[in-house]
Structure 1
Amino acid sequence: MKYQSKKKALLLLADGTIFYGKSVGDKEGTAFGEVCFNTGMTGYQEIFTDPSYFGQLMVTTNAHIGNYGTQEEEVESDSIKIAGLICKNFSYEYSRPIADLSLQEFLGNNNLFAISDVDTRALVSYIRDNGAMNAVISTRINDIEALKQELKKVPSMEGLELASKVSTKDPYFYGDKNATYKIAALDIGIKKNILRNLAKRDAYIKVYPYNASFEEMSAWNPDAFFISNGPGDPEPLKDAIKVAKEIINTDKPLFGICLGHQVIALANGVSTYKMHNGHRGINHPILNLITGKGEITSQNHGFAINREETEANPNLEITHVHLNDKTVAGIRMKDKDVFSVQYHPEASPGPHDADYLFDDFFGLIEKTSKQLAKV
């Protein structure tokens, strides 16, 4: 059955600003979260299922959403992780032959409330000027005062620990058990494509819950460690920060992506801060300070590490910077095989600009393995 979105809906921001639209599929609903926007022209299914977006109301800046449907292989986790969707034009029909479902069916299967016909150009401009903030989308357009009171009870993303909401409950394995290398991965919101990129480089991965101890992870005797991406504020992740410190004290390689990058920075005494509206899109320009080359990257983060503290830290070197605002996009330790980036090489928007980061990781693993073999 084809629907035309017609039930009136609204987006209410925490500062009282209201944008009007219509509910997708003519459904009633209400959803709360921090409102943010992604500038990607494609990849909406990957965005919606990325654990890093847990608890956020996603504004898509592309004018048309849903026109190529959804495909089972293009998910980054076992379910939709965004709290709600806000878009301009929602496509109920799709044209891609390999699609499994329409986007409407996909959202419906995941019980996600979405609104369309919103002036997303004006909305994104407003968020850019006033910053990311909590919001609510709802069909309760005549209940604004009650929605305002409910919205006040929604916790701020700053100080909010969300890794426990998206992490695996129990350890699990990924890849070929006969692979050359073993990698212990701390799941604080890991994406499936990260695991694919590790596995295709001849690694067998054991994925551990967000609160796993270093003793648990090291008992498997891995060749290296990985700390994943994920949602929320990094500073409350005391267990993960402790694990990162203990890994750093070993002589084994450690690689961190996004939230994992922030955890590694915190383990080195560098603080983090909430950004005005964050970086979310697939066209963010990065400069590799080691090679002098530029990279087109996929980014999804609302927090960043303190640049001044990083520059002053004698154990750290800044390896990458964001060319738009000069924020730190990558670091490495000077005397350890430890490095991290504030973007997603597995998302491949370049498409291959950042693939080398996985290769660099495996180069360190191979080097360390040969050194240990000589002992």
Structure 2
Amino acid sequence: MSKHSINNDALVVLEDGRCFGGESFGAAGTSFGEAVFTTGMTGYQETLTDPSYHRQVVVMTAPQIGNTGWNGEDNESGRIWVSGFVVRDLTGIDSNWRSSGSLQQQLIDQGIVAVQGIDTRALTRHLRDRGAMRVGLFTGDDAARPREQLVALVNEQPRMAGAYLAGEVSTSEPYVVEAVGEQKFTVAAIDLGIKSSTPEQMAARGMRVHVLPATASMEEVRAVNPDGIFFSNGPGDPAAAGDAVALMQQALEAKLPVFGICFGNQILGRALGLGTYKLKFGHRGVNVPVRDKATGRIEITSQNHGFAVDAPTEGHTDTPYGRVEVSHVCVNDDVVEGLRCLDVPAFSVQHHPEAAAGPHDAGYLFDRFADMMTSQKEQTNA
């Protein structure tokens, strides 16, 4: 048992009736969400504060969590976004020199229900075989209620398919991340659930980034006089994000350089007339292999998504905005991992090139965005 104090007995209840007993180590109470697993061996703080995990209960496949405590530098947003947290073993030692507190205390302070001491390997295999599904975390007296009542409560919860969540996690007011050193570009970044590392990566390349709410109009985008527009990661079903799709289409019509990641990749796909669909259990972790079709290079990437673009991985597809091709594919399952427009300045990837936490194999994509904006400027001034 962890050296941390354990509050109550707890129960993890899946919508199909499978139950796992454990021990509560976060806030007391009950929480619901979509059960998903992430294969990252590190980076739990970045995971917990990633807005893309809104309304999800995250299961960590790494067996021991909490070793590095909690610090004030690695948050990807201003709060923890997960609905709940499930681990095999909460360590009793916070042993990193940057640690300013414990993972457990942060979960308690922010009201996040968390369970430890369950067989996370068995739970992960179940989700892999049956697919991501609704789940309830019950602690204290709630965990003692009849199982059939708890399963019924879980099945009353909304599904992720059809959910529009970007507006719930987006900034309510615009803000600016200044370029580091000489300013070379101005970027309008549409916050659909943006991680703080993303505008920092752009700022490091001389981009002054205006982060705009998910509801931003093209008039608001044009008001910052951008050289390019960026569509961020975010939670929910892209099929429900009609406003973002419409804004993307306006950007394509204006031939404004476009870069999208994760949810932004799906938004570009839908703007082009491609479909999207829900994956069985998604890609979540910092070790997902992706092949760049142009070079054949395999990149190890950071990912967090449950939906994907439906497009042929060979040849090109004709769209109202010209031709588009799939630029990257997942080595594990051939899921579309990137789109490249051939007749307008736009591209996107499904993975997270800011890689917080994770490998930096895909960091060059921010440079590609800069190159695209430079080329567009040159064509405009020619």
TM over 0.5: yes
1:55 counterpart letter in structure 2:
R
Give the Cα–Cα distance (whole angstroms) in 1 for the partners of residues 314 and 245 of structure 2.
16
Change (3 A) 1:312 1:204: closer
For 1:141 and 1:351, how far apart are their aligned partners in 2? 39
1:328 and 2:328 are equivalent in the alignment: no
1:6 to partner: Cα distance: 5.9
Taking the TM superposition and a 5 Å limit, the aligned residue runs for 1:119-130 are 119-130=119-130
Whole-Å separation in 2 of the counterparts to 1:89 and 1:348: 23
Which region of structure 1 is more displaced relative to structure 2, 106-115 or 309-318? 309-318
Shift in Å, 1:180: 2.1
Establish whether residue 146 from structure 1 lines up as the match of residue 149 from structure 2.
yes
| Deviations 1:329-353, CA, capped at 9 Å, x for gaps | 0111011110000000101666331
What is the Cα deviation at residue 373 of structure 1?
A: 2.9
Of 344, 359, 373, the residue aligned with 2:367 is 359
Calculate the aligned-residue CA RMSD, in Å. Answer: 1.6
Q: Which aligned segments of 4 or more residues in structure 1 are displaced greater than 6 angstroms?
A: none
Paired letter, 1:228: S
2:283 is aligned to 279
CA distance in 2 between partners of 1:24 and 1:130 (Å): 27
Structure 1 residue 4, shift from structure 2 partner: 3.0
| 1:86-105 → structure 2 map (5 Å cutoff) | 86-105=86-105
Q: Is the 8 A contact 2:166 2:192 kept in 1?
A: yes
Contact 1:183 1:225 in 2 (8 A): yes
Secondary structure, aligned partner of 1:95: coil
Mapped pair 1:164 → 2:167: yes
User: Residue in 2 aligned with 1:261?
Assistant: 265
Query: Separation in 2 of the partners of 1:109 and 1:348?
Result: 23
231-240 or 107-116: bigger deviation: 107-116
Alpha carbons 1:348, 1:355 under 8 Å: kept: no
**CA–CA distance in structure 2, aligned partners of residues 130 and 180 of structure 1:** 49
1:283 and 1:349 in contact (8 A); partners too: no
Deviations 1:68-105 (CA, angstroms, capped at 9, x unpaired): 10111101111001000001001242111111111112
Instruction: Figure out how many residues of one structure are paired with residues of the other and give that number.
Output: 372
Residue 301 in structure 1 maps to residue 339 in structure 2:
no
User: SS in structure 2 opposite 1:207?
Assistant: strand
3-state DSSP class of the match of 1:141? helix
Q: Which amino acid in the other structure matches residue 211 of structure 2?
A: V
Once the two structures are superposed, residues 140-171 of structure 1 have per-residue CA deviations (whole angstroms, 9 ceiling, x without a partner) of 22213332332222110000000011001111
**Partner SS state of residue 57, structure 1:** strand
Alignment partner of 1:345: what SS?
A: coil
Do the aligned residues in 2 keep the contact of 1:69 with 1:102 (CA within 8 Å)? Answer: yes
Within the candidate set 214, 217, 222, 1:213 is matched to: 217
Q: Which moved more, 1:47-56 or 1:203-212?
A: 203-212
What secondary structure does 1:195 align onto? helix
How far apart are residue 244 of structure 1 and its match?
0.2
1:30 counterpart residue number:
30
User: What is the alpha-carbon distance in structure 1 between the residues aligned to residue 316 and residue 117 of structure 2?
Assistant: 48
Show the 5 A alignment for 1:1-375. 3-5=4-6, 7-24=8-25, 28-139=28-139, 140-143=142-145, 144-176=147-179, 179-308=183-312, 313-314=317-318, 315-347=323-355, 351-374=359-382
Same amino acid, percent of matched pairs: 42
CA 1:56/1:189 → structure 2, altered by over 3 Å: closer, same or farther? Answer: same
Residues 194/109 of structure 1: CA separation in 2 closer, same or farther (3 Å cut): same
Deviation at 1:199, TM superposition (A): 0.6
Supply the AA of the counterpart residue of 2:144. Answer: N
Query: Mean Cα displacement is larger for which, 259-268 or 132-141?
Result: 132-141
2: CA distance, partners of 1:359 / 1:335: 20
Aligned to 1:346, what secondary structure does the other structure show?
Answer: coil
Most deviating of 365-374 and 170-179: 170-179
SS at match of 2:143: coil
Deviates more, 1:85-94 or 1:332-341: 85-94
Whether the 8 Å CA contact 2:316–2:325 is kept in 1: the answer is no
1:246-302, Cα deviation, whole Å (9 max, x unpaired): 000122210000000000000000010000000001111111001111100011000
Residue 300 of structure 1 aligns to a residue whose secondary structure is strand
Distance in 1 (alpha carbons) for counterparts of 2:377 and 2:196: 26
Offset, 1:372 = 2.3
